[in-house]
């Protein structure tokens, strides 16, 4: 929650976590069979002439390797380290913004967590790539350059995602395509801004919120929160088994306007009565659950994706432990 105390601050910290943006392929032009998280973040920065140009114009770029993972393998431990590193640098009055290189698969989860936990008054910008670093037309270099451009803007705040020339609120964004460069959306909310020839064109206000604080992530053991889905032929057996295994939270991916198969709904009500936290989320990629149905006996996560709703439930349970 620290603003830049010196308006001349020109330091951007780039935190690397791996992902496709740092991936390489054994075969030239292979945009599918690559291996993620092969290059260090300083290698990515060194390969972008535009970033060297910024350095010559007085911008201080610092890099730090926080993790090196394919984001499908993102863990709570990496989230804890990343959040702590981001918070530490954002508190530095000489830092005007922080950039995080990340994989696309779980970017919507990490982005949601960072916004809820930190809600920074400086830009904390996630960026990623749909093609590996050695692709014939790699998208990572432009995305990283754009992310640094956004991080340098003094009027910008909040956790953002910058991909393919579009700036998204990281708490709203979700991956909607497995391959195309325009693989992200924010449902009904839409983009926050566009980056056009190095210039930022805002469309709506920057993200705000009251931060939970990074200390909420301190526990080594986090609550067990699992995802289940409502579908044709669903029943409550999986819910009963998870409850027997000691699950503390359940997010159900719902059909329609937050509707749940009647057998699964009954099992979720049983789980809730036993003290298990339950949250409904939409299976679809956009929209918001509207109240007014019999399923309101189970709370809902509004427009969050099931993956984001799981993060929200995790944070609620972690916060409850501190009270």
Catalytic residue among 17, 104, 110, 127: 104
Q: Is 127 annotated as a binding residue?
A: no
d(CA 25, CA 274): 49
User: Hey, what are 151's tokens?
Assistant: 């991080």
Task: Tell me the β-bridge partners of 158.
Answer: 123
Q: Is 101 annotated as a binding residue?
A: no
Helix (H, G, I), strand (E, B) or coil at 150: helix
Q: Are strands 249-254 and 123-127 parallel, antiparallel or unpaired?
A: unpaired
Q: Is 75 annotated as a binding residue?
A: no
Helix (H, G, I), strand (E, B) or coil at 275: coil
Residues 6 or more apart from 88 whose CB is under 8 A from it?
none
DSSP string, 71-133: GGG--HHHHHHHHHHHHHHHT-TTEEEEEEE--STTHHHHHHHHHHHH--SSEEEEE--SS-T
Active-site annotation holds for 20? yes
Catalytic residue among 20, 101, 110, 305: 20
Active-site annotation holds for 255? no
d(CA 13, CA 64): 8
Residues annotated within the binding site for substrate are 71, 104-105
Known catalytic residues?
20, 104
Residues annotated within the binding site are 71, 104-105
């Amino acid at each position: 929650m620290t603003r830049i105390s010196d308006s001349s601050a020109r330091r951007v910290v780039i935190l690397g976590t791996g992902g496709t943006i740092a991936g390489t392929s054994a075969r030239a032009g292979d945009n599918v069979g690559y291996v993620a998280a092969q290059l260090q973040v300083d290698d990515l920065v060194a390969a972008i002439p535009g970033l060297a140009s910024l350095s010559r114009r007085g911008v201080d770029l610092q890099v730090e390797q926080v993790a090196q993972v394919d984001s499908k393998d993102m863990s709570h431990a990496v989230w804890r380290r990343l959040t702590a590193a981001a918070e530490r640098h954002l508190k530095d009055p000489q830092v005007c913004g922080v950039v995080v290189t990340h994989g696309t698969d779980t970017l919507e989860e990490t982005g949601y967590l960072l916004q809820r936990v930190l809600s920074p008054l400086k830009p904390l910008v996630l960026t990623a790539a749909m093609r590996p670093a050695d692709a014939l037309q790699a998208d990572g270099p432009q995305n990283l350059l754009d992310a640094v451009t956004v991080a340098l803007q003094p009027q910008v705040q909040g956790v953002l995602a910058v991909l393919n020339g579009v700036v998204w609120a990281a708490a709203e964004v979700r991956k909607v395509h497995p391959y195309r460069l325009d693989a992200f959306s924010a449902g009904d909310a839409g983009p926050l801004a566009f980056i056009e020839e190095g210039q930022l064109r805002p469309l709506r206000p920057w993200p705000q919120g009251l931060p939970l604080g990074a200390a909420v992530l301190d526990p080594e053991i986090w609550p067990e929160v699992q995802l289940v889905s409502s579908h044709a032929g669903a029943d409550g057996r999986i819910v009963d088994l998870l409850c027997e295994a000691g699950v503390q939270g359940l997010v159900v991916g719902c059909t329609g306007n937050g509707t749940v198969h009647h057998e699964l709904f009954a099992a979720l009500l049983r789980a809730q009565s036993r003290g298990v936290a339950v949250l409904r989320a939409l299976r679809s990629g956009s929209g918001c659950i509207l109240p007014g149905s019999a399923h309101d006996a189970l709370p809902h996560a509004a427009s969050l994706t099931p993956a984001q709703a799981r993060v929200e439930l995790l944070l609620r349970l972690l916060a409850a432990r501190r009270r």
